[in-house]
Amino acid sequence: MTGGVNDVYLVGCSRTAFGRFDGEDQDLAEQAVRGALADCGLSWGDVEFAAGGTNGETKPDNLVARMGLTGIPFVTVKNGCATGAVALGTARNGLIAEQREIACVVGYDNHARGAFSASPARYGIGDWYGATGMMVTTSYFALKVQRYLHEHDIDPRVLGHVSAKAFDYAASHPLAWRRTPVTVDEVLDSDMVNDPLTRLMFCSPDAGGVALILARGPRAFDLCDKPIRLAAVELRGRRPGSFEVFSPWLSPGVRTSPSVDAAASAFRAAGVRPQDVQIAQVQDTESGAEIMHLAETGLCAPGDQGAGYLTGDYLAGGRLPVNTDGGCIANGEPVGASGLRQVHEVMTQLQGRALGQQVPGHLRIGFTHVYGAPGISACTVLVAEGASS
């Protein structure tokens, strides 16, 4: 089988361990890029277009000083938690628009211990917003999920099931950060942060890097035994009626969400339905986010999540395995790398070479979703070659 001239495929990938790191953030980026090139037998000189993202102070395009001054266009991206997915879309579009064959995308960060310190001015908000404590994202997440659980009659204990699943997946993943399994009760009994969310329901800022190699058209089949087609990468921002980080208000009328819009657009562009997805990654900044995003992306009906967790739908042998590398909850969130970590996991699962728990069966269609402040979402659809879409 050979790809169409404007079909773009994932042919190589690599990620570092996630966790604490004492070196420079670009050390992580370089490690990931070199690993991804080796994965498909290429060198930096073969790369014709690059995109990279980080939430830190360094510039990804400066990686050329380490990798080689070949003169390629290198685009730097900074889109909060959606950074990695936006960089991926940028690389894909660059290959198609410039009719090049090989691209590299990299995301990385090395965050200090503790919570992020966000400036109201950076988000176009007055200083009063921070002075009143409204920049504290744990409060926002708790407020949003509390309302969601009430509206859809979901037992708050389900929040504990989300985290227990994450740590169970991570226990067998060699590059995950938090690899000690926990019970549902241990999650629920851990320190309360903002009711109903406890300490073990949250991700934490940390360090990590991920790189992917993309190839356009028939070239992909020269580089990889099982290329994964990047069937869609769609990005959407917020519309009136959305309730978002640093924008916690609702206007009258129909509620909207950038996650709803991005997912619907991705499925439409890929020509598949949410029910066709066999493995998924959704943003799980905290356990409530995973619950809500499953429904917002169309992967389940609102309110069905509770039963799904109790019956094992989202485990490796279930109806729809979700966040099979432990997600953000167990890996932490180096912002620039997080979205690409999702794609790395789905890509390797579709190829049958996952680093952790390999989902059984013949996987054909995967999906990823990221969401970030102040209301932006990016979704991808990945298709294993030979799958009908």
pLDDT tens readout for residues 3-56:
787 899 999 999 999 999 999 999 999 999 999 999 999 999 999 999 999 998
Q: Are 226 and 12 in contact (CB under 8 A)?
A: no
- If phi > 0 it is left, if psi is from -120 to 50 it is alpha, else beta; for residue 128 that is alpha
What does the pLDDT look like over 270-311, one tens digit per residue? 999 999 999 999 999 999 999 999 999 999 999 999 999 999
User: What is the mean predicted confidence (pLDDT) over 171-193?
Assistant: 98
pLDDT, one tens digit per residue, over 210-260 is 999 999 999 999 999 999 999 999 999 988 888 887 776 666 777 889 999
Q: Percent of the chain beyond pLDDT 90? A: 81
Is residue 388's pLDDT more than 50?
no
**Amino acid letter, 371:** Y
Give this prediction's pTM: 0.95
Nearest CA to 78 among 70, 93, 90, 66? Answer: 90
Does 316 score more than 90 pLDDT? yes
Q: Could you tell me which residues are beta bridge partners of residue 106?
A: 52, 211
Provide the angle, in degrees to the nearest 10, between the axes of the packed helices 137-151 and 287-296: 50
By DSSP bridging, strand 279-281 and strand 365-372 are parallel
Spans of all domains in the chain: 8-113+206-217
Report pLDDT for 134.
73
Quick: pLDDT tens for 53-101.
999 889 999 999 999 999 999 999 999 899 999 999 999 999 999 999 9
Query: Over the chain, what is the mean pLDDT?
Result: 93
Confidence at residue 133, expressed as pLDDT on a 0 to 100 scale: 75
Token pair recorded at residue 307 = 């039963």
The pLDDT of 316-332, averaged and rounded, is 97
Q: What is the dihedral of CA 314, 319, 320, 326, to 10 degrees?
A: 30
Torsional sign, CA 142, 143, 149, 155: positive
Give, in order, the Cα–Cα distances in Å from 359 to each of 114, 199, 340, 351, 369. 34, 28, 19, 11, 19
pLDDT at 1: 54
CATH class of 8-113+206-217: alpha beta
What distance in Å separates the CA atoms of residue 293 and residue 291, rounded to the nearest whole number?
6
Q: Which residue would you say has higher pLDDT here, 379 or 244? A: 379
The CB density around residue 68, as the number of other CB atoms within 10 Å, is: 13
CA-based nearest residue to 52, from 12, 14, 79, 17: 79
User: CA 280, CA 368: separation in Å to the nearest integer?
Assistant: 6
> What pLDDT digit, counting tens, does each position of 112-153 carry?
887 667 778 877 788 887 787 777 788 889 989 999 999 999
- Answer yes or no: is pLDDT of 353 > 80: yes
322 forms beta bridges with 280
Q: Which residues contact 14 (CB under 8 A, 6 or more apart)?
A: 31, 32, 33, 34, 35, 36, 38, 39, 210, 211, 344
Q: Does the pLDDT of residue 387 top 80, yes or no?
A: no
CB-hemisphere CA count at 13 Å for 157?
A: 8
| The predicted structure's pLDDT at residue 5 | 79
In sign, the C-alpha dihedral spanning 161, 162, 165, 170 is negative
pLDDT at 226: 96
Res 389 pLDDT > 60? no
